[in-house]
C-alpha cells in the first residue's frame, strides 16, 4: 500500500505532515486534561478556604483544552478528507490511463468486471484508510504511548493492571485478524464475480430472454451472491467479538483500578506513633496524602481509559485496513502490468501538428507490407500465423478470406498493431509499425472492428470520435455518412446528427451500427482503411452501394477488407486466402478460382455456376 500512497502529490504530502503535527497537538491537549482534573480534586479535598477562584481557573483551562482539541480535530478531519479525495482522483486517473494503454494481450489478464471494481470499489477502500488513518491511525499510537509514559511511576500495581488489559486486547485483535485477513482477499474476488454475472446478464439480455434462461442466470447470480454474503457474514461476525471484549476490558479496568486504589487509600492510616499534641497536624498530613493519591488515582484512571480507547480506535482501522491492503495489491497489479505493445518513437512523419517531425519526400503513402511475418498469441510457443508475405500499394483494395479461425482478424490486428509480430516486419509506408508513435500510426490507419462499438453520445460526436487532432467539419461528417450509406436513416432520426445513441448503440440496428462505425473511420481521412468483416450486418444492396462509393470517392485510400462473403471481395485488386494461419492462395477472383482449391470451395458454396462464370 505504501507504493500506492506515494502517488500523492507533493502538496498533499506536506498537508499530511501538517495533519501529523495537528494530531500531536490534539493529543497533547487531551493528555493535559487529567492533570487539571487532578488539581481540581486536590483543591476540593483541601482544608484551605476561598479556593473557588483557583478551581474556576483550572476549570477554564480544562475548557480551553477541550475546545482546542475539538478545533484541531475538525481541522484534521477536513484536511484528511481533502487529501483522501485528491488521492482517489490521482490514482483513479492513473488507473484509467493505464487501462487505456492496455492492448488485446493485457485485457486477457483482467476481466472488465474486475477492472471496474478496481477502479471504483478498491480505490474507495484505500481512500477510507487514508481519511481515517490521518485521524485515528496516527492519533491512537501517539495517545497510547503518551498516556503510558504519564502512567509509569505513579503505581506499580495499577500499571500491571493496565499492562494486563493491553495484553488481552492485543491477543484478541491478533487472533481476530488472523482469521479475517484471508477472507478479505476472497471478498474482493467475489465482488468481481458478482459484477461479472451482472454484466453478462445485462449485455446478454436478449440471449437470456431468447433461450428462456432467466432462471439459469438468476441461479448463477444467487450462487455468487450467496458466496459473497457468507464471506461477509463470517468476517463481520468474527469482527463483532472485538466490541464486547473491548467493552468488558474497559469496564473491568475501571473497576479494578478504583478497587485497588480504595485499598491503597484505606491503608494510609495514623498508626500508634503519633503523640497527642501532634494529632491535628498528622490528620492534616494524612488527609493531604489521601487527597493527593486520590487525585493521582483519577488521573491514572483517565490515562488508562486513553490507552484502552487507543486500542478501540485501532480496532476501527483494523476492520478496514486488511481489505484496503488487498485493494492496494489489486490496484498495483494493474499499474505494474507490463504493456506488450509500446508506442514507438523511432520515426515521426512530416505533420504540421507534430513538433519536430521530419519526413523524406520519397516516403510512400498508403502502403502495407508484411515481410516474413509470424505470430503466436501470448502464452503460446507455437506460431499461429506463419511466414506471411504480401504488399499493398496506395489506392489498392486487398481482400482477405478464409474459414473460421484461419487468422483473418489476427492479420488485420497485426496491421493495426493491436498485436506485435513475433517474427518478421509489418511495414506501413515503408516503416516498421513498431517505430511509429501511436498518435501517428492511427492518423494513417482507420480500423473498423468486427464488433461495431458506439458510445453514449450523439451521432455527430460518434462520427467525429476518431482523432483528437482532426478538425472534422460538418461537411466531412455528412460526406462520411454518404459514403457509408448512413445519411438516410440518420436524417430520419429525431434530431438527425444530434440523435442520442444509447450505450453500445442498443437503440439502433446492427447494420446501422456498422455503417456509423464505417463513417467514423472514413471521417478522419486515413491513408489506410481496415475493414474487419465490417459488412456482415449489411444487406447485399447496401453492401454493393457502400463498396461502390468507397471505390469512387476514396480512390487514393488503401483498403484491406476481411470478409466471409465472396460477393463483397470478388472485385478486389488482390485476394489473400488463409488457412490455418498461412497464405494458401493469392490473386484476383478469377485467378483463384483456377488455382486455389480452398477459395474455389468457398465460392462454390456461395455462388451459382452462372455467378462463378460472370
Any domain includes 444? yes
The answer on pLDDT for 286 being more than 50 is: no
Q: Which residues contact 263 (CB under 8 A, 6 or more apart)?
A: none
- Both 404 and 319 in one domain: the answer is no
| Higher-pLDDT residue of 202, 275 | 202
E strand map for 176-326: none
Q: Retrieve residue 423's grid coordinates.
A: 517474427
Contact 233, 164 (CB under 8 A): no
Write the DSSP assignment of 13-36 as a string of letters: HHHHHHHHHHHHHHHHHHHHHHHH
Write the DSSP assignment of 264-316 as a string of letters: HHHT----S---GGGHHHHHHHHHHHHHHHHHHHHHHHHHHHHHHHHHHHHHH
pLDDT of amino acid 224: 93
pLDDT of amino acid 283: 43
Determine the average pLDDT of the residues in 304-330: 80
| Higher-pLDDT residue of 40, 228 | 228
pLDDT of amino acid 576: 94
Any domain includes 354? no
Measured distance CA(134)–CA(26) in Å, rounded:
13
Measured distance CA(361)–CA(347) in Å, rounded:
14
| Higher-pLDDT residue of 67, 503 | 67
| Higher-pLDDT residue of 233, 8 | 233
DSSP label of 502: P
Any domain includes 397? yes
Determine the average pLDDT of the residues in 152-173: 80
Determine the average pLDDT of the residues in 125-139: 85
pLDDT of amino acid 427: 93
Q: End of a domain among 288, 311, 335? A: 335
What pLDDT band is residue 312 in, cutting at 50, 70 and 90? confident
The model's pTM is 0.72
pLDDT of amino acid 515: 92
Measured distance CA(38)–CA(59) in Å, rounded:
11
- Both 537 and 393 in one domain: the answer is yes
pLDDT of amino acid 48: 60
- Both 424 and 307 in one domain: the answer is no
Q: Retrieve residue 359's grid coordinates.
A: 519526413
Determine the average pLDDT of the residues in 96-111: 85
Determine the average pLDDT of the residues in 272-298: 54
Determine the average pLDDT of the residues in 200-227: 88
CATH assignment of the domain containing 139: 1.20.1560.10
Determine the average pLDDT of the residues in 53-66: 83
- Both 416 and 556 in one domain: the answer is yes
pLDDT of amino acid 151: 75
Any domain includes 350? no
Q: End of a domain among 335, 351, 378? A: 335
- Both 307 and 386 in one domain: the answer is no
The answer on pLDDT for 259 being more than 90 is: no
pLDDT of amino acid 133: 82
The answer on pLDDT for 139 being more than 60 is: yes
The answer on pLDDT for 371 being more than 90 is: yes
The answer on pLDDT for 143 being more than 60 is: yes
DSSP label of 536: T
Share of residues in the chain with pLDDT > 90 (%): 25
The answer on pLDDT for 56 being more than 70 is: yes
pLDDT of amino acid 181: 78
Q: End of a domain among 291, 317, 335? A: 335
Q: What is the pLDDT of residues 30-44, one digit of tens each?
A: 888 887 777 777 666
Determine the average pLDDT of the residues in 525-540: 89
pLDDT of amino acid 347: 65
CATH assignment of the domain containing 466: 3.40.50.300
Measured distance CA(316)–CA(132) in Å, rounded:
9
Any domain includes 445? yes
pLDDT of amino acid 275: 44
Output the average pLDDT for the chain: 83
pLDDT of amino acid 290: 63
The answer on pLDDT for 335 being more than 60 is: yes
The answer on pLDDT for 196 being more than 50 is: yes
The answer on pLDDT for 349 being more than 70 is: no
When mean pLDDT is compared across 46-50, 103-107, 500-504, 551-555, the lowest value belongs to 46-50
What pLDDT band is residue 5 in, cutting at 50, 70 and 90? confident
pLDDT of amino acid 387: 92
Q: Are strands 558-562 and 397-402 parallel, antiparallel or unpaired?
A: parallel
pLDDT of amino acid 415: 92
Any domain includes 286? yes
pLDDT of amino acid 211: 84
Helix (H) or strand (E) holding 574: strand 574-579
Any domain includes 341? no
pLDDT of amino acid 390: 93
Q: Are strands 574-579 and 385-392 parallel, antiparallel or unpaired?
A: unpaired
Measured distance CA(315)–CA(137) in Å, rounded:
10
| Higher-pLDDT residue of 249, 582 | 582
What pLDDT band is residue 6 in, cutting at 50, 70 and 90? confident
pLDDT of amino acid 426: 93
pLDDT of amino acid 75: 93
pLDDT of amino acid 357: 44
- Both 323 and 389 in one domain: the answer is no
- Both 254 and 392 in one domain: the answer is no
pLDDT of amino acid 44: 67
| Higher-pLDDT residue of 78, 204 | 78
When mean pLDDT is compared across 310-324, 343-357, 390-404, 559-573, the lowest value belongs to 343-357
- Both 162 and 244 in one domain: the answer is yes
- Both 42 and 176 in one domain: the answer is yes
Contact 523, 443 (CB under 8 A): no
| Higher-pLDDT residue of 243, 395 | 395
CB atoms < 10 A from the CB of 573, how many?
Answer: 14
- Both 372 and 330 in one domain: the answer is no
Q: Retrieve residue 187's grid coordinates.
A: 471478498
Any domain includes 181? yes
- Both 467 and 408 in one domain: the answer is yes
What pLDDT band is residue 348 in, cutting at 50, 70 and 90? low
Q: Retrieve residue 114's grid coordinates.
A: 474486475
User: 8 is in which domain, residue-wise?
Assistant: 2-335
- Both 214 and 155 in one domain: the answer is yes
The answer on pLDDT for 318 being more than 80 is: no
Measured distance CA(424)–CA(426) in Å, rounded:
7
Q: How many domains does the chain have?
A: 2
Contact 561, 552 (CB under 8 A): no
Amino acid at each position: 500500500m505504501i507504493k500506492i500512497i506515494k502517488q500523492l502529490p507533493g502538496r498533499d504530502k506536506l498537508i499530511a505532515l501538517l495533519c501529523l503535527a495537528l494530531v500531536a497537538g490534539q493529543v497533547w491537549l487531551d493528555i493535559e486534561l487529567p492533570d487539571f482534573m487532578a488539581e481540581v480534586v486536590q483543591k476540593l479535598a483541601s482544608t484551605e478556604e476561598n479556593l473557588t477562584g483557583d478551581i474556576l481557573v483550572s476549570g477554564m483551562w480544562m475548557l480551553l483544552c477541550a475546545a482546542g482539541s475539538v478545533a484541531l480535530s475538525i481541522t484534521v478531519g477536513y484536511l484528511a478528507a481533502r487529501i483522501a479525495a485528491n488521492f482517489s482522483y490521482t490514482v483513479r486517473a492513473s488507473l484509467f490511463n493505464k487501462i487505456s494503454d492496455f492492448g488485446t494481450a493485457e485485457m486477457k489478464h483482467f476481466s472488465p468486471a474486475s477492472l471496474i471494481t478496481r477502479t471504483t470499489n478498491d480505490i474507495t477502500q484505500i481512500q477510507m484508510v487514508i481519511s481515517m488513518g490521518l485521524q485515528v491511525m496516527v492519533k491512537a499510537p501517539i495517545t497510547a504511548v503518551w498516556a503510558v509514559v504519564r502512567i509509569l511511576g505513579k503505581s506499580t500495581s495499577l500499571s500491571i493492571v493496565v499492562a494486563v488489559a493491553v495484553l488481552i486486547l492485543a491477543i484478541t485483535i491478533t487472533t481476530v485478524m488472523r482469521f479475517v485477513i484471508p477472507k478479505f482477499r476472497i471478498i474482493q474476488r467475489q465482488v468481481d464475480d458478482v459484477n461479472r454475472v451482472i454484466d453478462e446478464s445485462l449485455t446478454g439480455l436478449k440471449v437470456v430472454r431468447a433461450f428462456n434462461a432467466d432462471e439459469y442466470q438468476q441461479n448463477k447470480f444467487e450462487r455468487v451472491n450467496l458466496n459473497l454474503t457468507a464471506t461477509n457474514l463470517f468476517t463481520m461476525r468474527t469482527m463483532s467479538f472485538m466490541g464486547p471484549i473491548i467493552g468488558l476490558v474497559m469496564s473491568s479496568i475501571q473497576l479494578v483500578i478504583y478497587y485497588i486504589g480504595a485499598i491503597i487509600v484505606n491503608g494510609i492510616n495514623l498508626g500508634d506513633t503519633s503523640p497527642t499534641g501532634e494529632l491535628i497536624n498528622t490528620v492534616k498530613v494524612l488527609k493531604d496524602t489521601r487527597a493527593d493519591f486520590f487525585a493521582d488515582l483519577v488521573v491514572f484512571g483517565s490515562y488508562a481509559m486513553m490507552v484502552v480507547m487507543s486500542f478501540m480506535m485501532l480496532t476501527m482501522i483494523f476492520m478496514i485496513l486488511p481489505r484496503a491492503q488487498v485493494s492496494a495489491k489489486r490496484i498495483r497489479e494493474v499499474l505494474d502490468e507490463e504493456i506488450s505493445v509500446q508506442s514507438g518513437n523511432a520515426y515521426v512523419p512530416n505533420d504540421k501538428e507534430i513538433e519536430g517531425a521530419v519526413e523524406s519526400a520519397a516516403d510512400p503513402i498508403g502502403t502495407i507490407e508484411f515481410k516474413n511475418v509470424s505470430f503466436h498469441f501470448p502464452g503460446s510457443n507455437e506460431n499461429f500465423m506463419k511466414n506471411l508475405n504480401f504488399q499493398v500499394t496506395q489506392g489498392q483494395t486487398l481482400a482477405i478470406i478464409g474459414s473460421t479461425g484461419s487468422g483473418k482478424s489476427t492479420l488485420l490486428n497485426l496491421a493495426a498493431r493491436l498485436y506485435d509480430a513475433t517474427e518478421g516486419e509489418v511495414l506501413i509506408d515503408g516503416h516498421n509499425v513498431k517505430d511509429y508513435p501511436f498518435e501517428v500510426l492511427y492518423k494513417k490507419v482507420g480500423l473498423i472492428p468486427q464488433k461495431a462499438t458506439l458510445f453514449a453520445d450523439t451521432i455527430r460526436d460518434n462520427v467525429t470520435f476518431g482523432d483528437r487532432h482532426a478538425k472534422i467539419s460538418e461537411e466531412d461528417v455528412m460526406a462520411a455518412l454518404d459514403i457509408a450509406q448512413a445519411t438516410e436513416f440518420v436524417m430520419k432520426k429525431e434530431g438527425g446528427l444530434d440523435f442520442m445513441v444509447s450505450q453500445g448503440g442498443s437503440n439502433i440496428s446492427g447494420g446501422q451500427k456498422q455503417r456509423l462505425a464505417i463513417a467514423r473511420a472514413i471521417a478522419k481521412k486515413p491513408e489506410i482503411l481496415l475493414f474487419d468483416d465490417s459488412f456482415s450486418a449489411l444487406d447485399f444492396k447496401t453492401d454493393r452501394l457502400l463498396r461502390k462509393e468507397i471505390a469512387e470517392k476514396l480512390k487514393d485510400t488503401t483498403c484491406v477488407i476481411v470478409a466471409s462473403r465472396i460477393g463483397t471481395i470478388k472485385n478486389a485488386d488482390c485476394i489473400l486466402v488463409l488457412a490455418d494461419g498461412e497464405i494458401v492462395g493469392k490473386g484476383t477472383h478469377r485467378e483463384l478460382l483456377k488455382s486455389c482449391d480452398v477459395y474455389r470451395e468457398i465460392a462454390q458454396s456461395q455462388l451459382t455456376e452462372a455467378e462463378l462464370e460472370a
